[in-house]
Amino acid sequence: MPGDSSVNFSVLHRICKLVVLLCFLHIAVTVVFYVRSFDFHLAFVQNQQSNNNIPMFRNTNRVVSSGLEPAKEEKILEQPVKKLEKCPETSPLLVGPLRVEFNFTVDLELVKKENPNVQPGGRFKPKDCEALQKVAIIIAFRYREEHLKYWLHYLHPILQRQQLDYGVYVIKQDGNDTFNKCRLLNTGYAEALKEYDYNCFVFNDVDVIPMDDRNTYKCFSQPRHLAVSLDKFDFRLPYVQCFGGATSLSKEQYLKINGFPNNYWGWGGEDDDIYNRVVTSGMSISRPDSEIGKCRMIRHNRDKLNDPNPQRFNLLSHTQETMYKDGINSLKTQVLSIQKLDLFTMITVDVGKQ
């Protein structure tokens, strides 16, 4: 019996050791599975947070599914937008002297096809560089459809080669009352600024076409007379105070002279009044040389209801007294319609009555 009890004790001891070993094994397996499940949960949480932090907008463009694999799509989205360099001071696209003729019929559909980069409303900006100036070209208009066609035919290619960020605004006087050019130009200035932050304004007669694309339609440190040498005057400046046909003023220069006079009805005097305003404001007129400044004028009879203004000489003698109360700060016109056409913006205006 003593022998049997020692045997039983030995067996029991072994069983206890086995149980303890199994317990340790169970605990070890439990710990391993717990650690692995915790790591998986942590990775899942981090992945969710990472997804929530992906921006909905990148470079102001909304992120939309492209159908690409996620890695490829993310790579495309992260490509930075390349900032354009400034256009050079002198465009490399200029060709110099141009042949300007008016002995053919202009087809505006063809002009549109030949200028595919001109956007509705007559807007254009270079694609390969950032223009140095934002230029609004403003034309006072009535009864001159054929002249306008020539202007669009010649000027759009010129302005694009000059690498300008520009828009063309044709300001049409409504009705059959006496013409008032300056009210139309002032209205064009005000309306153009409602559309875009232009910093330069070119005021161009519809019948004046430059003959050299180096005569850049931009603004300078002083108000610029662009139509220096007209064929009408044998390509000579008729008098020193001449400041008509085509001129440019920066926004600051325009405001300094209070825009243009509103009280010139009919033909004549307003351009000289603007010259007086420039000089009175302490500025001077800048001009290109007589070769680059050559322009052609489309010959025509004077428009109906645009007879010479009999009051022009009296008005001119009082420019210094009237310029700060008669101008853009006193403009009263009514815009009747705005049409965004293929090659220009047409703004029809009621200028009131004399």
Cα 87-92-98 angle, rounded to 5 deg: 125
State the number of CA atoms in the 13 A half-sphere of 115 facing the CB.
Answer: 27
pLDDT digits (tens, 9 = 90+) for 281-317: 999 999 999 999 999 999 877 666 677 788 888 999 9
The catalytically annotated residue of 165, 205, 272, 273 is 205
Nearest to 223 by CA among 189, 251, 204: 251
Cα-Cα end-to-end distance for the chain:
143
Instruction: Please state the rounded mean pLDDT for residues 317-334.
Output: 96
Of 36-45, 217-226, 252-261, 330-339, the least confident: 36-45
Q: Are 214 and 156 in contact (CB under 8 A)?
A: no
The catalytically annotated residue of 13, 14, 36, 302 is 302
pLDDT digits (tens, 9 = 90+) for 56-70: 333 333 333 334 455
The catalytically annotated residue of 58, 161, 283, 297 is 297
* Residue 73 reports pLDDT greater than 90: no
Three-class DSSP category at 126: coil
Q: Is 323 a catalytic residue?
A: no
Across the chain, where does the E strand assignment appear? 57-58, 61-62, 123-124, 134-141, 165-173, 200-204, 208-210, 224-225, 229-230, 246-250, 294-297, 334-340, 345-350
pLDDT digits (tens, 9 = 90+) for 82-117: 789 999 999 999 999 999 999 999 999 999 999 999
Q: Are 188 and 241 in contact (CB under 8 A)?
A: no
Q: Which residue has the higher pLDDT, 28 or 254?
A: 254
**Cα-based distances in Å from 153 to 55, 149, 216, 219, 342:** 47, 6, 17, 23, 13
The catalytically annotated residue of 58, 177, 231, 267 is 267
Q: What pLDDT, on the 0 to 100 scale, is given for residue 137?
A: 98
* Residue 43 reports pLDDT greater than 80: no
Nearest to 237 by CA among 225, 224, 219: 225
Cα 54-59-60 angle, rounded to 5 deg: 95
Nearest to 97 by CA among 231, 213, 218: 213
* Residue 72 reports pLDDT greater than 70: no
Q: Is 289 a catalytic residue?
A: no
Q: Is 300 a catalytic residue?
A: yes
Task: Look up residue 285 and give its two tokens.
Answer: 């007129």
Q: How confident is the model at residue 128 (pLDDT cuts 50, 70, 90)?
A: very high
The catalytically annotated residue of 147, 151, 165, 207 is 207
Average pLDDT, the chain: 86
Q: What pLDDT, on the 0 to 100 scale, is given for residue 312?
A: 86
* Residue 348 reports pLDDT greater than 60: yes
What is the per-residue burial (b if ≥16 Cβ within 10 Å, else e) of 160-195?
bbbbbbbbbbbbbbeeeebbbbbbbbbbbbebbeee
Q: Is 297 a catalytic residue?
A: yes
Q: What pLDDT, on the 0 to 100 scale, is given for residue 191?
A: 98
Q: What percent of the chain has pLDDT over 70?
A: 78
Question: CA 109, CA 354: separation in Å to the nearest integer?
Answer: 38
* Residue 10 reports pLDDT greater than 80: no
Three-class DSSP category at 275: helix
Question: CA 173, CA 236: separation in Å to the nearest integer?
Answer: 31
Q: Is 291 a catalytic residue?
A: no
* Residue 243 reports pLDDT greater than 70: yes
Burial of 222 (0-12, 13-18, 19+ CB in 10 A): middle
Instruction: Please state the rounded mean pLDDT for residues 196-225.
Output: 98
* Residue 5 reports pLDDT greater than 80: no
pLDDT digits (tens, 9 = 90+) for 22-32: 767 767 666 55
Q: Are 201 and 138 in contact (CB under 8 A)?
A: yes
Q: Is 213 a catalytic residue?
A: no
The catalytically annotated residue of 165, 191, 270, 272 is 270
Q: Which residue has the higher pLDDT, 192 or 53?
A: 192
Q: What pLDDT, on the 0 to 100 scale, is given for residue 77?
A: 52
Question: CA 181, CA 142: separation in Å to the nearest integer?
Answer: 10
Q: Are 167 and 198 in contact (CB under 8 A)?
A: yes
**Cα-based distances in Å from 300 to 33, 232, 303:** 97, 11, 8
Q: Is 302 a catalytic residue?
A: yes
